[in-house]
Amino acid sequence: MNLRQPIALPDRFGPRPSMSFFLYNQDGTQAIARPFLDGGVADSQFESASSVNSPLKMPKYHLLDSWDGETNAPSQNFIYDFDRFRYCVNDSWREVLHHSSAGDVVSGSLKDLVDAFSSGCAIKLGIENLCTELRAETDPALGHEVFIQGGSAYYYTDQKLFIIGTHPLAKIRPAVPMKYLSQGWDFGWLMVRSDGDVVYRRCDPYTLKFSDHTTRHAVRWFVR
């Protein structure tokens, strides 16, 4: 979940403005990271692990581990006993362009992407190996693809260059299943170009300081 502010049902938002980055794995494990956005004290004293006591008023919530509880960006891995846990998939997205990290077309065409954009289609991107830098030195290399929806887009007609800004996204250390660890995640926004350039405007969740990072990636472009 990349857009959620926590809500205190039934009539208000949560007590502190924050993002609420829930994730759900196919094995039933779940997790949440919550960077606070209210300008409070951004403590960056990391913790190896916090208490693993489950909330007393949530009997279906089984806490596996908890990280950085006293910082600006606490996170937890848990299992919640839902009566039913289903994934609902919309398969109407259509891949129109796949290019390498150098911008070379693998399949589809830039023209198909531009035509779809010009007709008002929404755009989603699949970006290869976006989170590699979060991998610990002892972790095995794990190929992965991050999917994120695009927003504002721009087309340079002379250079034949398509550029799009994305929704906010959480980047997490590649693993199966995925989970949050201290300093193993961050969040931000992407500017993605059809020549393979990707600029990540990173927000450090512990300090809320921003920095820009440019890398190159193979990208698949989807429209609907």
User: Domain residues for 120?
Assistant: 94-223
Total of domains in the chain:
1
> From the CA atom positions of the chain, what is the Rg in Å?
19
Domain assignment present for residue 170? The answer is: yes
- Give the dihedral of Cα atoms 34, 36, 37, 42; nearest 10 deg: -140
Residue 138 belongs to a domain: yes
Residue 89 forms part of a structural domain: no
pLDDT at 179: 96
Global pTM reads 0.92
| pLDDT value at residue 139 | 86
In a domain, 212, yes or no: yes
Task: Tell me how far apart the alpha carbons of residues 8 and 190 are, in angstroms, rounded to a whole number.
Answer: 30
Instruction: Specify the pLDDT at position 55.
Output: 73
Structure tokens at 204: 């450090």
pLDDT at 72: 93
Amino acid 164 reads I
Q: What is the pLDDT of residue 83?
A: 86
Within a domain: 83: no
Assign 3-class secondary structure to the chain: CCCCCCEECCCEECCCCECCEEEECCCCCEEEECCECCCCCCCCCCCCCCCCCCCCCCCCEEEEEEECCCCCCCEEEEEECCCCCCCCCCCCCEEEEEECCCCCEEEECHHHHHHHHHCCCCEEEEEECCCHHHCCCCCCCCCCEEEEEEEEEEEECCCCEEEEEECCEEEECCCCCCCCCCCCEEEEEEEEECCCEEEEEEECCCCCCEEEEEEECCEEEEEC
In a domain, 108, yes or no: yes
User: Of 42, 59, 10, whose CA–CA distance to 206 is shortest?
Assistant: 42
Q: What is the pLDDT of residue 101?
A: 98
Name the percent of the chain lying above pLDDT 70. 93
**Are 197 and 212 spatial neighbours (Cβ–Cβ below 8 Å)?**
no
The structure tokens listed for 197 are 């350039």
Strand 169-172 and strand 123-128: pairing?
Answer: unpaired
Q: Is residue 57 part of a domain?
A: no
The series of mean pLDDT values per 10 residues for the chain, 224 residues long, is 94 95 95 92 65 75 92 94 87 97 98 98 98 90 96 97 98 96 96 98 95 98 98
Q: What pLDDT, in 10s, does the model give residues 136-151?
A: 888 888 999 999 999 9
Tally of residues, the chain: 224
Q: Compute the mean pLDDT over every residue in the chain, rounded to the nearest whole number.
A: 93
Residues 6+ apart with CB under 8 A from 4: 19, 20, 21, 22
Residue 87 lies inside a defined structural domain of this protein? no
